[in-house]
Structure 1
Amino acid sequence: MFASACVIFHVMMDNGIVQVTLSKPDGIVTGIRYNGIDNLLEIRNEESNRGLNGKYCRYWDLVWSSATTGTTGTFDVIKGTSFTVIMQNDEQVELSFTRIWDPSQEGQLVPLNIDKRFARRFIMLRGCSGFYSYAIYEHLKDWPAFQLAETRIAFKLRKDKYTNSLNFLYIGKRNKIMCTVAPLRVICVAFWIEKSFHYMAMADNRQRYMPLPDDRLPPRGQALAYPEAVLLVNPVEPEFKGEVDDKYQYSCDNKDSKVHGWICTEPPVGFWLITPSQEFRSGGPFKQNLTSHVGPTTLAVFLSAHYSGEDLVSKFAVGEEWKKVFGPVFMYVNSAYEGNDPLSLWEDAKLQMVKEVQSWPYSFPASEDFPKSRQRGNVRGRLLIQDRYVSDDYVSINGAYVGLAPPGDVGSWQRECKDYQFWTTTDEDGYFCINGVRTGDYNLNASVPGFIGDYHYDVVMTITSGCDIDMGDLVYKPPRDGPTLWEIGIPDRSAAEFYVPDPNPKYINKLFVNHPDRFRQYGLWERYSELYSDQDLVYTVGVSDYSKDWFFAQVTRKKDDNKYQGTTWQIKFKLENVDKTGSYKLRVALASANYSELQVWVNDPKANRPLFTSGMIGKDNSIARHGIHGLYWLYNVDVPSSRLVEGDNIIYLTQPRSTTGPFQGIMYDYLRLEGPPSPSSR
C-alpha cells in the first residue's frame, strides 16, 4: 500500500527517557516515545488529521466568540506561526511556539496576542519522566471585544491493538513490522501491536477498564438524551454491553483534580496529566471540569462553562488589557517491570503528583510572566466561627476552604474567570497559610462546611513580592436571625446527602453501582416521575428522613404526551406557638439551578403571588451532567408571623418552569426555618 507524504517540519526534545516530537511552527505534539513504545499517542490517522473528532492527538485549544452572550463559539486548535528556542542547556530546554494577532484577522482568529505573550511552551527536565506545558494569553489595548468560553490541553492516546499504519519506525519484541521508507512515500503493511491504553484512573475509587471510542458510534452505540451519553448496545468488548458511557460521569472538582490518566497493561505504561496548582483555573475550588474519558482522552481544562453556564465565560470589552498564564501542567509517564501489577502505576502517579505540588511554584519556567517563589507573597491567619445559636464561644473548623480571589462582592469568586485564585484549607484549630500568591489585589474569602453562606473580608489586600501577611483571627458570622426550628440537609454546597435513587437497570455504569458517587449514573432525573407519578414530594419534619425522602433534585415531571410540567414540593411542620411580635426566616441554599425558578408559598398555594420568587436562575445543567452541584445560591426569605398558624403548617416550594424538558430544575443544599430572634438580640 502506498501513501503520499507531505513535508512537515518537526522539533524533538529527548532527555534519554522520553522523546517528544512537535510540529514546527505549529507546536502540536505528534509523538511521544517512551519505554520501547514508538508513540503513546493515537497513530492510526494521518498526522494532519489526528485525534479527537478528526483533529489532533495533542493540542492546546480554545472556544471563542465575537458575541456578547452564550457559551458556544468557534473551536480553535491553536497553531503557532513562529518557533523559538527560549532555553537550551545541559539541564533543560524550553521551546516557544507563538502566534501574533493582527487586526486584519478580526472575526477570523481570537484577538489574543500569541508572540511572546501567548507562548506554546514545553519544558523537559533531565532525568524527568515527562514534560511540562504552559501558555500565556494576552489581549491588548484597542483590540476588539470577544468572549472566551473554554481553553484546555487535550491528548488522545493509543486505543487499538491492531492498526494498519505507523508514523515512527520502532522494532520491539512484540511488534511484527514490515516497512520500507522511501523518499516522499511510505510503504507499510498492517502489523499487530500489544500497546494500548484501556484502563483509566482519576481517583482511588474512580478507575476502571473503559470502552473503546468505536463503541460510541452507530450501530455499536445508541445516543441518549444528549450526545455525550451513549448506550453501548454492541460494543467490541462484550463486557460493556448495556452500559452507558458519558464523559461527564468522570468530572471532578478543581480541588480534587490533581492527577488522572491511563494505563497500558502490556507493556505496563502509564500516561498521567498532573495539575500541581489550581491558581490558573476559573471558578474556585468547587468548579467542576472534565478529566479523562473514552478516547482514550485526557484533558487539562483551565476555563470552561461546564456546571456553571455563561457565568463562567470570560467576557472582554474593547480595549480591555488582560494577560494570564495557564499552567504549567505536567505530562508524566511511568512504567513497571513485566509481571508487576500495572495498577502500581496509579500509586506512583499519585506520589509524583505530591512532588509536583510541593515544587509549586516551579522555578524553571523561563517566562517573566511566571513569577518565581521569591517574587510572590504569603498570607496566613486563623478562621473562627461565631454562631450564638450553636455556641457562645468562637469555634474553629477543620477543613474550611480559605482563598484569595480578585476583589468583588460576597461569593463572587465562584463566578470569577479571568484572573488567579489561591486556596487552601484550615487545620483543626482553624489556622491557614496561603503560599505563593502572585502580586496584585485580592479579597479573602472562605466557605465553611456545616455553615451557610460565604465569609468575605471586604478590605482589599495588596500582595507584593516577598510579603508575609498575618491576618490574625478572622471571625465568620454566618447568616442567622433566630433559633433553628427545623432544618433539612447539610450545608456543604452539595445535594449528595439527599436521596439518590437506583438507576434504571437499562442505563447503568457499573463503576457507580454501590459507589459513594451514585449520583453519577445516567437518567436519574427520570426516576422522579416514576417515584412520584401521582403527586409531588411531601416532607414531614420530624417524621421524614432527608436521606430517604428528599429527592436529590427538584426536576420537572414527564407527562404521558412526552411533555413536562413544573413541580411543587411540600414541607409540613408543626408550631406549638407563633410569636406574633417577630418575623421568621427561611434560609434556602441551592446547590444548582438550571433555567429554573424557586417560588416559596406559605400555607396558601393559591395566593395571588408567592411570598418569594427567585425569578429565572441558573444555566449550569448539573442535573444532566451528574454533577450533584453547580453554582451556589443562597436565599433568605422573611416569613411574616401572620402567615403561620399554631399547629400544622405547610411551606410549598414550586419550580414552575418546564418548557425546555427534563433538565430544568434545582438541587437543594440546605433549608432551615428560624424563629424570631430572642428579645435580647433584637
Structure 2
Amino acid sequence: MSLFGTKLYAQDQNHVVMDNGILKVTLSVPDGMVTGICYNGVNNLLEIANEETNRGYWDVVWSPAGSTGTTGTFERITGRSYEVILQTEEQIEVSFSTTWDVSQEGKHAPLNVDKRFVLLRGSSGFYSYAIYERLEGWPGFNLDETRIAFKLRKDKFHYMAMADNRQRFMPLPDDRLPGRGQPLAYPEAVLLVDPIEPEFKGEVDDKYQYSCEDKDHKVHGWICMEPPLGFWQITPSDEFRSGGPLKQNLTSHVGPTNLAVFLSAHYAGEDLVPKFEQGEPWKKVFGPVFIYLNSVVEGEDPLRLWEDAKTQSLVEIQSWPYSFPASEDFQSSSQRGSLSGRLLVLDRYISSDSMPASGAYVGLAPPGDAGSWQRECKDYQFWTRADEGGYFLITNIRTGDYNLYAWIPGFIGDYKNDSKITITAGCNIEMNDLVFEPPRNGPTLWEIGIPDRSAREFYIPDPNPNYINKLFVNHPDRFRQYGLWERYTELYPDGDLIYIVDQSDYTKDWFYAQVTRKKDETTYQATTWQIKFKLESIPQDGSYTLRLALASAVQANLEVRLNDPSSKDALFSSGIVGKDNAIARHGIHGLYWLFNVELGGSVLVQGENTIYFTQSNGSSPFQGLMYDYIRLEGPPQ
C-alpha cells in the first residue's frame, strides 16, 4: 500500500482535486464534471481542447411521457450541491447532487441524481457511481439512455482495445469531418476518403463495430504510446445494466471516447426504454465502475497494458460488491443473498431422461413472463452460467423479489420458475432440481441453424471491398463489416434464396439476414425465401409444427405460406415486429423472438413441399430479420 494517503483540496473556488500520489482527479464544483486526470507525468489525460463540461461526465437522454422512439433531450447531469462524504487517508468520497422540483418540469429529467466519485489509497484509478431517484407524485417520463463518457486527448490516445481480437490503431476524430470523411447510410458510419494518416484511407469507421454483449463487456479503453500508459473503464458487475447478459452496448470509439453505458436502446429498440408513469417512484444505483490507469517503463511493449487491464478487471470482479461505497443505497456483501440449484432439460424426442442443462444461462430478474428479462430495464438482474452438470450458483444478489429465468444453448424457448423468490440479507437459498421442457410437439423432420439466439452460423458474405474495416478482415466477427445487407441484392439480383433440405448447407446457402432487395437508389422490395423439403407420407389427422426462432427483427412482417406463394391469406403473419437495428449496426442478433406455427396435414402434400417466408415490409434497406433456428416437427409419436 502506498505511503501516500489520499488528499482532497481545493484547486480554486470552482474545482477540487482528489490525490493519492499515483493520480490526481480534478472535479468541477458544484457541477461534478471530471475536468482533469493527471497521471504518469501527463498533466491531463482528458481532451484539454474541449470545454470542461465535455471531458468526463454523466449524462441522460430523456423524453416526455407518451413519447415514442428512442431519442430525446440530451442532458449532462450537472450537480447543484457539493458534499464531502468521506475524507480519510484511506479514502475520499465526494458527492455532486441535483434535486428536481416542479419548477423544472419540461426542462430537466424528473430525477434526483447523486453522483459519487471515490479515490482509495494506493489505487491506480478512481471509481464513480450514482443514485438515481424519483419520488411519488412526479411527472412521468422516458429514460432513453444514461452513461458515463470520457473524452481523451486525441494527441495521446491512438490505440483502442476492447477484446483480445478487437484492438487496433484508430483514426482521428478529424478524419470523420466533411472533406476527410464521407457519411454513409447513417451518420455513425463514415468512409475515410482523405484521413490525416494515409493508412486509414478507404476504411469505414463506425462506433457500432465495437459494440459488445454485456456478458463479455468487462474492460475496454485506450493506450497512449508516448509515454506508454493506458486508460481503461472496468465494469465489474452487470447487475445494474438492462436487458440481461446478451444486451449489447457501445464501448470505446473514435474520439478517442470511452463509455460506460448503463441504459440504452441499442440492439433492442424502444422495448429497452424505461417508461415511468405519472407518480411512479423509483430508485437505482448505477455502478460503481472503475477508471483504471496503468503504465509500463519506456522500452516495454505498450500492449502489455491491455494484458494488465484484463488482470485488473478480474481483481475488480472478485471484489464485487465493493466494501467502500458510503451510500446506504449500495448494498454490501453482508446485505445480499445467494441462490443455488440445478437445471435439467427434458426433451423426450432427444432422450427419455432429463439431461443436465449444460452451459445454461440462469438468472434472477424482476417478476414477469418467461423471457421478460430481455426487455426488463428498470431494476436489477443477476446472471450466471450453469456448469456441465447443470449446477448453478448466483451470489451477491440484492434483496428483493425475483423470478428465476433461464435459457439453454441448443434448445429453443425460455424457462421460468413459477415461484416468487425473495432474497433477504444473508440468505442462501438452495432450490430443488428444476426441469425445463422446451417447446416440442413431435419429432424433428428437419432443422436449419443452431438454437443459440444468434445468426452467426449462417452465411456471412465478404464485404464490399470499398467499405472495409481492416480489423474485421479474416476475423471471426466478420459480420461487423459495413454494408453487408447490400450484398444480398448482388448475390440474388433477380430471384430470392432457395434452400433445399438435405442438400443445402446453411453455413453457405442461408444468408445471415432476410433483408430487402435494392431496386435503385431509393426503392427497395420485399423478399420471399423458399425452403423445399419432401414428405414420404402424411397421416390424415396428423398435425405438424413449424418453429421459427428469430435472432433479430427490424420493422419486419414475416408471412408464412405453404405450397402456394400467391395465396392471399398467409398461414402465419408476425405483424410488424422489432426495432433493434441489428442489421445496420453490425450485430448478429437483437432481441429474441419465438413463433410457433401449427400446420394441419391437409396443407401438406406427399412428396415435395415448399414453405415460403416473405418479409413483406420492404421500404428501406434495414427492414428485415435474422433467423436463429427453424425446425419442422412431425405429428406427435
Q: TM-score with structure 1 length normalisation? A: 0.91
Which residue of 1 is the match for residue 625 of structure 2?
666
Partners of 1:17 and 1:129 within 8 A in 2: yes
1:300 maps to a residue whose letter is: A
- Deviation, structure 1 residue 66: 0.8
- Deviation, structure 1 residue 397: 3.2
Which residue of 1 is the match for residue 136 of structure 2?
141
Distance 1:79 1:561, change over 3 A: closer
* Structural mapping, 1:51-62, within 5 Å: 56-62=54-60
Distance 1:561 1:257, change over 3 A: closer
* Structural mapping, 1:476-555, within 5 Å: 476-555=436-515
Residue in structure 1 matching 2:435, options 467, 472, 475:
475
Q: Over residues 373-395 of structure 1, what are the superposed CA-to-partner deviations in whole Å (9 max), with x where a residue is unaligned?
A: 01001000011111111112221
Which residue of 1 is the match for residue 176 of structure 2?
216
Q: Distance in 1 between matches of 2:521 and 2:149?
A: 42
Partners of 2:65 and 2:277 within 8 A in 1: no
Q: Distance in 2 between matches of 1:522 and 1:447?
A: 31
Which residue of 1 is the match for residue 64 of structure 2?
66
Which residue of 2 is the match for residue 640 of structure 1?
600
Partners of 2:65 and 2:275 within 8 A in 1: no
Q: Distance in 2 between matches of 1:560 and 1:301?
A: 38
Residue in structure 1 matching 2:36, options 31, 38, 44:
31
Q: Over residues 478-515 of structure 1, what are the superposed CA-to-partner deviations in whole Å (9 max), with x where a residue is unaligned?
A: 10110000000000000010000000000000000010
Which residue of 1 is the match for residue 5 of structure 2?
none
- Deviation, structure 1 residue 247: 0.2
Residue in structure 2 matching 1:599, options 542, 549, 559:
559
- Deviation, structure 1 residue 606: 1.6
Q: Distance in 2 between matches of 1:452 and 1:579?
A: 26
Residue in structure 1 matching 2:207, options 247, 255, 263:
247
Q: CA RMSD in A?
A: 1.0
- Deviation, structure 1 residue 658: 1.4
Q: Over residues 576-606 of structure 1, what are the superposed CA-to-partner deviations in whole Å (9 max), with x where a residue is unaligned?
A: 1112222100000000001111111011112
Which residue of 2 is the match for residue 466 of structure 1?
426
How many positions carry a matched residue from both structures? 626
Question: Aligned pair 1:270/2:268, yes or no?
Answer: no
2:311 match: secondary structure:
helix
- Deviation, structure 1 residue 472: 2.2
Q: Distance in 1 between matches of 2:318 and 2:358?
A: 21
Q: Distance in 1 between matches of 2:287 and 2:539?
A: 57
Partners of 2:192 and 2:205 within 8 A in 1: yes
Q: Distance in 2 between matches of 1:206 and 1:389?
A: 41
Which residue of 2 is the match for residue 165 of structure 1?
none
Q: Distance in 2 between matches of 1:141 and 1:147?
A: 16
Q: Distance in 2 between matches of 1:492 and 1:405?
A: 21
Which residue of 1 is the match for residue 127 of structure 2?
132
Q: Over residues 550-589 of structure 1, what are the superposed CA-to-partner deviations in whole Å (9 max), with x where a residue is unaligned?
A: 0000000000363000000000001111122221000000
Which residue of 2 is the match for residue 677 of structure 1?
636
1:642 match: secondary structure:
helix
1:99 maps to a residue whose letter is: T
Question: Aligned pair 1:90/2:79, yes or no?
Answer: no
Partners of 2:33 and 2:52 within 8 A in 1: no
Q: Distance in 1 between matches of 2:537 and 2:162?
A: 53
Q: Distance in 2 between matches of 1:529 and 1:8?
A: 62
Q: Distance in 2 between matches of 1:22 and 1:353?
A: 25
- Deviation, structure 1 residue 140: 0.5
* Structural mapping, 1:143-182, within 5 Å: 143-160=138-155
Q: Over residues 333-386 of structure 1, what are the superposed CA-to-partner deviations in whole Å (9 max), with x where a residue is unaligned?
A: 000011000000000000000000000011100000001001001000011111
Partners of 1:541 and 1:571 within 8 A in 2: yes
Question: Aligned pair 1:436/2:396, yes or no?
Answer: yes
2:466 match: secondary structure:
coil
Distance 1:421 1:341, change over 3 A: same
Which residue of 2 is the match for residue 79 of structure 1?
78
2:82 match: secondary structure:
strand
Question: Aligned pair 1:231/2:226, yes or no?
Answer: no
Q: Over residues 452-487 of structure 1, what are the superposed CA-to-partner deviations in whole Å (9 max), with x where a residue is unaligned?
A: 011111211111111100012111111011000000
1:663 maps to a residue whose letter is: F
Partners of 1:376 and 1:464 within 8 A in 2: yes
Q: Distance in 2 between matches of 1:17 and 1:609?
A: 70
Which residue of 2 is the match for residue 410 of structure 1?
370
Partners of 1:282 and 1:312 within 8 A in 2: yes
Residue in structure 2 matching 1:292, options 252, 257, 260:
252
Which residue of 2 is the match for residue 382 of structure 1?
342
Q: Distance in 2 between matches of 1:40 and 1:560?
A: 47
Which residue of 1 is the match for residue 275 of structure 2?
315
Which residue of 2 is the match for residue 12 of structure 1?
17
Runs of 4+ in 1 over 6 A off after TM superposition: none
1:525 match: secondary structure:
helix
1:458 match: secondary structure:
coil
Which residue of 2 is the match for residue 174 of structure 1?
none
2:59 maps to a residue whose letter is: D
Partners of 1:87 and 1:95 within 8 A in 2: yes
Partners of 1:280 and 1:419 within 8 A in 2: yes
Which residue of 1 is the match for residue 328 of structure 2?
368
Which residue of 2 is the match for residue 123 of structure 1?
118
Which residue of 1 is the match for residue 167 of structure 2?
207
Identity %: 72
- Deviation, structure 1 residue 47: 3.0
Partners of 1:586 and 1:639 within 8 A in 2: yes
1:625 match: secondary structure:
coil
1:472 match: secondary structure:
coil
Which residue of 2 is the match for residue 106 of structure 1?
105
Q: Distance in 2 between matches of 1:447 and 1:211?
A: 40
Distance 1:561 1:329, change over 3 A: closer
- Deviation, structure 1 residue 67: 3.6
Q: Distance in 2 between matches of 1:211 and 1:288?
A: 23
Q: Distance in 1 between matches of 2:69 and 2:166?
A: 32
Partners of 1:154 and 1:299 within 8 A in 2: yes
Q: Over residues 5-27 of structure 1, what are the superposed CA-to-partner deviations in whole Å (9 max), with x where a residue is unaligned?
A: xx860011001101000000000
Q: Distance in 2 between matches of 1:67 and 1:239?
A: 47
Q: Distance in 2 between matches of 1:148 and 1:317?
A: 11
Residue in structure 2 matching 1:345, options 302, 305, 309:
305
2:584 match: secondary structure:
coil
Partners of 1:8 and 1:23 within 8 A in 2: no
Which residue of 1 is the match for residue 8 of structure 2?
none
Structure 1, unmatched stretches of 5+, are 1-6, 49-55, 161-195
Question: Aligned pair 1:571/2:531, yes or no?
Answer: yes
Structure 2, unmatched stretches of 5+, are 1-11
Partners of 2:143 and 2:275 within 8 A in 1: yes
Question: Aligned pair 1:42/2:47, yes or no?
Answer: yes
Distance 1:8 1:546, change over 3 A: farther
Q: Distance in 2 between matches of 1:58 and 1:561?
A: 41
